[in-house]
Amino acid sequence: MSSARTATPRPTDIYFFATCVVDQFFPGAGMDAITLLERQGIRVHFPDEQTCCGQPAYTSGFPDEARKVAAHQLTLFPEAWPVVVPSGSCAGMMKHHYPTLFARDPVRKAQAEALSARVYELTDFLVNVLNFKPEDCGSDCTVVLHTSCSARREMGVHLTGRQLLGDLVKVTVAQQDHESECCGFGGTFSIKQPEISGAMVEDKVKALKATGAERVVSADCGCLMNILGHAAWKDAQEGRSTPSLPGEHIASFLLRRTGGAQ
Amino acid sequence: MSTPQTPHTLHFMPSAGFRARAKDVVENPFLRKSFRGAMDFLMSKRAAQFPDAEELESLRSLGERIRQYNLAKLPTLLEQLEANLTKNGINVHWAETPEEANAIILGICQKHSARLMVKGKSMVSEEIELNHAAEAAGIGALESDMGEYIVQLAHEKPSHIIMPAIHKTKEEIAKLFAENVPGVAYTDNVDALIQIGRNVLRQKFLEADIGLSGVNFAVAETGTLCLVENEGNGRMCTTAPPVHIAITGIEKIVEKLEHVPPLLSLLTRSATGQNISTYFNMISSPRKPGEKDGPNEVHLVLLDNGRSQAYADEQLRKTLQCIRCGACMNHCPVYTRIGGHAYGTTYPGPIGKIISPHMLGLEATATMATASSLCGACGEVCPVKIPIPELLMRLREESFSAPHANPAMRGQGAGYSRLVSAIWRAWAAVYRSPGLYRLATWAGSRFSWLMPANQGAWTTVRTPLKPAPKRLRDMLKERG
């Protein structure tokens, strides 16, 4: 899906759409992604009026509410620069669902299509547009990568995160059992069906821990919220004071491995 | 809001008990492990059949096009099918509801003073709960598919559309046989168990007055009923008894014979990971003069049961593309956790979630569509590319939106809540307004210490969510 974009000219400027989860819950991941992009010589623009892609309402069966929120984002990116999103899930919403969402509104549909054509998930953008090859300056470590279902099945960018980690010479990427299976987050699914969602995240955390990896990295903070939240809960249940499965956004990991914020 | 129809007298469990049933399975480590093992096995069997991703994609696209082409012509094809079947000597019956279908089938049985019906595997017969109706009419209905036979002995319903007894271990089956089959000692040797079943059934095929079967593809142009099976029981049911009754949904129709091979290939490879099934039956007439076997009478019952409601809506129509392979359930992380019975509907798993609301109404099935993380595994493996996640979102909308005139679905608005709708409206009001959003998120960060430790369902297995002390926008401002 993304390989066709390798010919995209290298931009000088990009928009950064942080997502509401990163803005409020994982701001460090957002900062690290921005720093990583800037270090590639890119000017990163953060439209201050941005809020949320609208996905929570959309997937919960409230498309009218999603449309109102999405319509607001449509107006925030006037220049023809790429819009880079540090989340496969939110990028998927903007890229694949915005045109459907505005199917009955010709003006906004055209805007949505124009926008969706330049929406990129972060790792896809790093690999396929910037041709970023991270140079590892860290010491030996083993990590495990969790790829969100949207990144994998909607955006088709499950290989780019793996490629970036693969470029880090001292990092071993562990292979977990049932890698392509959902972590059980699914937005409101996690609170509407907590028993099933709980069973899914329990299995996911077990599989990630069983690899013996020092940490889990992911390009989606929704999954991280779920996975790390369960891992920490389990630690508390079992009386551990140090996290048995620390984790972070892939942008933070990449930035640290390639020399930090300098 | 549409007028709710009289509830069927069928034995479907209400949607309200779904969470409790799911919880029971999720908390049973034995069942969890057993479902996981079974689904892993089926997934790897399928994967081995499709080593070439490009071939799979082109075959799926072809399957999708064939199904969409035939659905687009459905009304004409149904007439053509009826005409050609009639010409071939097969009696065609139309049933709008399960009750009508049962009445037709039992009417044929009574005409022949039938006492025993042997059944090949048919999910549509499960859908109409034919066994209950037959029993009530004093007619024995015996399942002859091994999995269905096991489920029937246990007085249960199938938990999977292809592998009805997938929830049972061989030890459970051994016990069931020892207790129910006269003269049989306990053995958990699988081959021995199969032989026991075969011996019982072999005699029944000869005794039966009626053979009942499903249909995988009904070919309009030739008037042919195609039946896919592995055990030979389908062939026995459709040839040994003097009367054969086939039952199927109105959507299982293709125009041309040449539409069958690609669909058959997709079906067997997706379902059981077989290149081809052991048996493939093509039934085009009753016994002809001079022929040595075959039934004297063949009937086809075409059932609607809500399918025309799905058909009437362009998006919902895609539900009817289904060829019932079951791959969506094999790959579903939810089905893998809870098994088929928890759904409480004839068709479990992703396909069950999207088709059951048309059969039972949204009142009875409103919560089913919420039992998905929308991970997309089902849509990814569907051999005819049904966009299941998209349809689940549509069903959520149909269920949660305020009741309105001329709904596309029976029970539209069944899950409507004034409060929940108001919450989403308030959410949209905040998130469409940068000022309100900034204020709300500022307050979230400033007062994050106020976030309760108990956050309901979220904190049953997770630590509480807590906004970061500074938002990304604050950090960017500070950096300058």
CB contact under 8 A, A181 and B377: yes
Strand partners, B225: B218, B283
What residues in A contact B458, CB-CB < 8 Å? 190-191, 194, 229
Q: Count Cα neighbours of B449 within 13 Å in the Cβ-side half-sphere.
A: 1
Q: Are B124 and B306 in contact (CB under 8 A)?
A: no
CB contact under 8 A, A188 and B468: no
- Model pTM? 0.95
Q: How far is A199 from chain B (nearest CA, A)?
A: 7
Q: Are B392 and B378 in contact (CB under 8 A)?
A: no
Measured between CB atoms, does B242 come within 8 Å of chain A? Answer: no
Complete DSSP assignment for B200-264: HHHHHHHH-SEEEE--SEEETTTTEEEEEESSSHHHHHHHSSSEEEEEEETT-EESSGGGHHHHH
* Helix (H), strand (E) at residue B311: helix B307-311
CATH 3.40.50.10420 occupies which residues in chain B? 20-36+48-308
**Closest Cα in chain B to A29:** B472
Q: What is the largest CA-CA distance in chain A?
A: 57
Please enumerate, as own/partner, the contacts of A204-208 that have beta carbons within 8 Å and a separation of 24 or more.
Answer: A204/A146, A204/A178, A204/A230, A205/A230, A205/A231, A205/A234, A205/A245, A207/A176, A207/A177, A207/A178, A207/A179, A208/A144, A208/A146, A208/A176, A208/A245
CB contact under 8 A, A56 and B441: no
CB contact under 8 A, A23 and B473: yes
d(CA B35, CA A228): 26
Q: What is the pLDDT of residue A2?
A: 45
3-state secondary structure of B303: strand
B 443-472 residues with CB < 8 A to A: 444-445, 456-463, 465-468, 470-472
Q: How far is A244 from chain B (nearest CA, A)?
A: 14
Strand partners, B141: B117
Q: Are A37 and A86 in contact (CB under 8 A)?
A: no
CB contact under 8 A, B374 and A63: no
3-state secondary structure of B393: helix
Q: Are B479 and A35 in contact (CB under 8 A)?
A: no
Q: How far is B447 from chain A (nearest CA, A)?
A: 12
d(CA B361, CA B10): 13
Q: How far is A223 from chain B (nearest CA, A)?
A: 11
CB contact under 8 A, B475 and A191: no
Mutate to test the interface with A, among B336, B337, B372, B373 (most CBs of A within 10 A): B373
Q: Are A246 and A125 in contact (CB under 8 A)?
A: no
Give φ, ψ of B143 to 5 degrees. -75, 135
ipTM of the complex: 0.95
Strand partners, B5: none
CB contact under 8 A, B424 and A60: yes
d(CA B407, CA B316): 13
Fold of B20-36+48-308: Rossmann fold (3.40.50)
Q: What is the pLDDT along chain B (480 residues), one digit of tens a residue?
A: 333 343 343 445 556 689 999 999 999 999 999 999 999 999 999 999 999 999 999 999 999 999 999 999 999 999 999 999 999 999 999 999 999 999 999 999 999 999 999 999 999 999 999 999 999 999 999 999 999 999 999 999 999 999 999 999 999 999 999 999 999 999 999 999 999 999 999 999 999 999 999 999 999 999 999 999 999 999 999 999 999 999 999 999 999 999 999 999 999 999 999 999 999 999 999 999 999 889 999 999 999 999 999 999 999 999 999 999 999 999 999 999 999 999 999 999 999 999 999 999 999 998 899 999 999 999 999 999 999 999 999 999 999 999 999 999 999 999 999 999 999 999 999 999 999 999 999 999 999 988 999 999 999 999 999 999 999 999 999 998
- B246: tokens are 């086939």
CB contact under 8 A, B337 and A196: yes
Q: What is the pLDDT along chain A (262 residues), one digit of tens a residue?
A: 444 444 568 999 999 999 999 999 999 999 999 999 999 999 999 999 999 999 999 999 999 999 999 999 999 999 999 999 999 999 999 999 999 999 999 999 999 999 999 999 999 999 999 999 999 999 999 999 999 999 999 999 999 999 999 999 999 999 999 999 999 999 999 999 999 999 999 999 999 999 999 999 999 999 999 999 999 999 999 999 999 999 999 999 999 999 875 5
- Beta-carbon contacts of residue B410 (< 8 Å; ≥ 6 apart): B2, B4, B5, B306, B309, B358, B361, B362
* Residue among B22, B393, B434 minimizing CB distance to A59: B393
**Closest Cα in chain A to B335:** A196
d(CA B68, CA A119): 31
d(CA B146, CA B165): 9
3-state secondary structure of B331: coil
Q: What is the pLDDT of residue A262?
A: 54
Mutate to test the interface with B, among A17, A26, A62, A248 (most CBs of B within 10 A): A62
Question: Residue B409, by phi and psi: left (phi above 0), alpha (psi -120 to 50) or beta?
Answer: beta
Q: How far is B233 from chain A (nearest CA, A)?
A: 36
CB contact under 8 A, A192 and B370: yes
What residues in A contact B375, CB-CB < 8 Å? 149, 153, 181-182, 186
Measured between CB atoms, does B212 come within 8 Å of chain A? Answer: no
CB contact under 8 A, B468 and A28: yes
* Residue among B397, B434, B457 minimizing CB distance to A191: B457
Q: How far is A169 from chain B (nearest CA, A)?
A: 30
Measured between CB atoms, does B474 come within 8 Å of chain A? Answer: yes
* Residue among A48, A63, A198 minimizing CB distance to B461: A198
d(CA B130, CA B118): 12
* Residue among A27, A71, A153 minimizing CB distance to B471: A27
Question: Which amino acid type is present at position B380?
Answer: E
CB contact under 8 A, A61 and B444: no
Q: What is the pLDDT of residue B414?
A: 94
Q: How far is B55 from chain A (nearest CA, A)?
A: 17
- A21: tokens are 């989860």
d(CA A94, CA B373): 19
d(CA A125, CA A130): 6
CB contact under 8 A, B433 and A72: yes
Measured between CB atoms, does B57 come within 8 Å of chain A? Answer: no
Measured between CB atoms, does B338 come within 8 Å of chain A? Answer: yes
